[in-house]
Structure 1
Amino acid sequence: MSESLHTEHAASHGSVKSYMIGFLLSVVLTVIPFWLVMAHVLPKGLTLVTIFLFAIVQVLVHLKYFLHLDFSTDGRWNTLSFIFTMLVIVMLVGLSIWIIFSANALMM
């Protein structure tokens, strides 16, 4: 009975060290853009580009350290399914916006 409660998962889970690295990187990648906005260090356009770049890096940090998506033998299928899902979502949203703008242009 007790053996059925303990199941082994094929996916690798992170260690405390990897979670701490991910957490610290997430905090740093949040604090720096916040400081750039509050201190008005850079011009507005450059600040927006910097925030966008930090956001992309932060998404990658979350994918690696918290969702454990990588191309190792254990996580390859999870990563490929995630990429396929993102591709479908980007196509769905992008094509919907294209259709809406085309319909708006034709109605004018």
Structure 2
Amino acid sequence: MSHGATDPTMHPEVQLSTSKGYFLGFAISIALMLLATALVTSHSVPPFGLLMVITVCAGIAVIAQIYFLLHIDISEHNIWNTVALVLFIPLFLITIGLTWWMFSQLYLRTMDMSVMSSVTNPAVHAPATPKLSDMSGMNKNPDSGN
């Protein structure tokens, strides 16, 4: 039952793991995170440009982690890990997309838009507190016993 391999350290996936690769992947990810953090705190880039820069930094960090930390590439001995990743990506994007759609629809169906419009344009709606003379059915004498 040995299937021809007696030394587990001779397996190709084990041979790929080196401390240099792990450190390089970690260092790239940390450097990109620090770059994104510095750009956000310095306010040196307009909001849309900042979103694009952060997205690119995150994409590069994900690719670095996939290659250096998970050792996923297109080599023959690693093909099933690559196939699993390729099948995972659309499922992940569908999950994120459907979650966003669900919460946006939930927001639209549960928010009272008249309240939202009175917050944005208070001059259109009546005042929030009614006058005492406008209240009908209120007992003006609290000692009347009713």
CA distance 1:93–1:37, shift in 2 (3 Å): closer
Give the aligned partner of residue 56 of structure 2.
Answer: 53
Q: What whole-Å deviation, never above 9, does each CA across 1:9-64 have from its counterpart, x for those lacking one? A: 45243211111111111111110010000111111111111001111111111111
The reply to whether residue 11 of structure 1 matches residue 13 of structure 2 is: yes
Q: What whole-Å deviation, never above 9, does each CA across 1:38-94 have from its counterpart, x for those lacking one? A: 111111111111001111111111111111110011212111111112223333554
Distance in 2 (CA, whole Å) between partners of 1:45 and 1:97 is 20
Distance in 1 (CA, whole Å) between partners of 2:42 and 2:100 is 35
TM-score normalised to structure 1 length: 0.74
User: What 5-or-longer segments of structure 2 have no aligned partner?
Assistant: 1-6, 109-146
More helix by share: 1
Give the aligned partner of residue 27 of structure 1.
Answer: 30
Give the aligned partner of residue 117 of structure 2.
Answer: none
Q: CA RMSD in A?
A: 2.7
Give the aligned partner of residue 80 of structure 1.
Answer: 83
Give the aligned partner of residue 44 of structure 2.
Answer: 41
Distance in 2 (CA, whole Å) between partners of 1:48 and 1:60 is 18
Distance in 1 (CA, whole Å) between partners of 2:30 and 2:104 is 38
The reply to whether residue 90 of structure 1 matches residue 96 of structure 2 is: no
The size of the alignment, in residue pairs, is: 103
Percent identity among equivalent residues?
26
CA distance 1:44–1:64, shift in 2 (3 Å): same
Distance in 1 (CA, whole Å) between partners of 2:59 and 2:47 is 19
Query: Max radius of gyration: which structure?
Result: 2
Which structure ranks higher in relative contact order (CA pairs < 8 Å, sequence separation ≥ 6)?
Answer: 1
CA distance 1:96–1:29, shift in 2 (3 Å): closer
